[in-house]
Homo-oligomer: A and B are copies of this chain.
């Protein structure tokens, strides 16, 4: 079953391919619950508590070690690393470099979330550029951040924040030179991988998710948690599916942001194999 080229943005998933991926997601989820991997998070001041609670709810063991004096020894024993540039301090910036270098050297999976990447926030953007040298396993961000980063690494295209994730994913392919997976969050999420010919589109979630702060930051850390127990591509897709299902189920519980957020954490926690099979909504898009 082949789709003609002009239908490339339509669903080109083979039913078997999607079903096989869902079983792999279930396996990754099960391993996350069982192994409770230790995930180091260097993250922003808005996201620390929320990220830790999301990781705990999902089954991982978070540790927010973000000082330069303990970064190397801790990155040496953790199972995965998540670096988020939301509200960096000078000490965190040093820790990021040490931990990213350590993760690369020891072949541990690590996720880079270039929050706010762009010309206005030069200090962090320069650090993001520098961190690319340590070859993150996954780069995750919204369309503006990923588009900006892709543009900056190739040529400046004046990418602005009005770009949606559909428009940016073609451009994002260039970032596969720096990372095994690129994940772009939006109304639908798009995941590019060196391992896949196709782009994976993950649907679901809720329009309330962007109304709760730090959900994207926590998603980056959850990718790291999954990557501690499964291959990077599966991990990236699994984390996005986990979030998308939780957002959908939480919205069914409440359409108010405060209650939605409580229900969202509940749904992250209560996910199981049947729920994944019933609600996972992903498509393989022709390249």
Contacts and interface: CB of A to CB of B under 8 A. Distances in A.
A172 to B, nearest CB: 23
B257 A213 contact: no
Interface stretch (A85-93, A180-188, A272-280): A85-93
Interface centre among A46, A73, A262, A263 (most CB of B within 10 A): A46
B262 A269 contact: no
A251 to B, nearest CB: 13
A57 interface: yes
Counting every copy of the chain, the complex holds 3
A57 B116 CA distance: 21
Interface stretch (A4-12, A63-71, A129-137, A148-156): A63-71
A122 interface: yes
Interface stretch (A47-55, A102-110, A193-201, A234-242): A47-55
17 contacts: A46-B48, A52-B214, A53-B257, A56-B211, A57-B211, A62-B213, A64-B87, A67-B87, A67-B89, A67-B90, A67-B123, A70-B120, A70-B122, A74-B121, A254-B266, A257-B266, A259-B262
A163 to B, nearest CB: 16
A70 B124 contact: yes
A70 B123 contact: yes
Contacts of A77: 120
Nearest to A89: B91
Contacts of A270: 256
